[in-house]
Structures are given as C-alpha cells and as structure tokens.
Amino acid sequence: MPESEQTIVTNTTPLIALTAATGSLDALRFLYTRVVVPFEVAQEIQAGGHDAFGVDVFKSASWLEIGRAPVALTPYLKMLWTLARHP
C-alpha cells in the first residue's frame, strides 16, 4: 500500500495493458489507495462480452471504484468535445 493516500482515475488503455502484461490489475492496487474507473470506461472494457480479453480480470478486481452512471459533462465541456471531434 502507498504511504500516503493517492487516487487515480483511469481509462481503458492502462487496464488492458496491465492485464496483457501481468495478467492482473494488482499493480494499481499497490500503487494507489483508490482506483476510480468511470462508468464509460467500465462499459468499454465489458463491451466485448463476458469472454472478451480482460473482462474476467476487470470483474475480479473488486477493489476498483466503478462509476454507476455516465459522467455528466458541463455545457462548456460538451462544446469543446464537439469542436474537437468536428474541427
């Protein structure tokens, strides 16, 4: 466990990369006191179904804090997102 409280919010890529490299997500558990996975990230990980790569590892990591609802974007962030996608 880390000496001080540290939180990380992760996206899909580190979760898949750690699973591919080590077969688990335990490295995150030992580096951070809280590992937050946004709802959308959890949906993306599980999109391939129960037998998709990494889903079993993800679901067995009961210590992950998985968002229960989509992240609400403020109107300003929505505008930036739209501009970034359609320049």
Domain with 49, as residue range(s), is 7-85
Q: Considering the domain boundaries, does residue 11 fall inside one? A: yes
Question: What domain count does the chain have?
Answer: 1
pTM: 0.79
Structure tokens at 6: 């540290």
C-alpha 45 chain-centroid distance = 8
Is there a contact between 43 and 12 (Cβ–Cβ < 8 Å)?
A: no
CA angle 46, 50, 52 (to 5 degrees): 70
Q: Considering the domain boundaries, does residue 1 fall inside one? A: no
DSSP β-ladder status, 7-9 and 34-37? parallel
The per-residue pLDDT for range 44-62, each reduced to its tens digit, is 999 989 899 999 999 999 9
For the chain, 87 residues long, the average pLDDT of each consecutive 10-residue run is 82 95 96 96 93 95 96 89 84
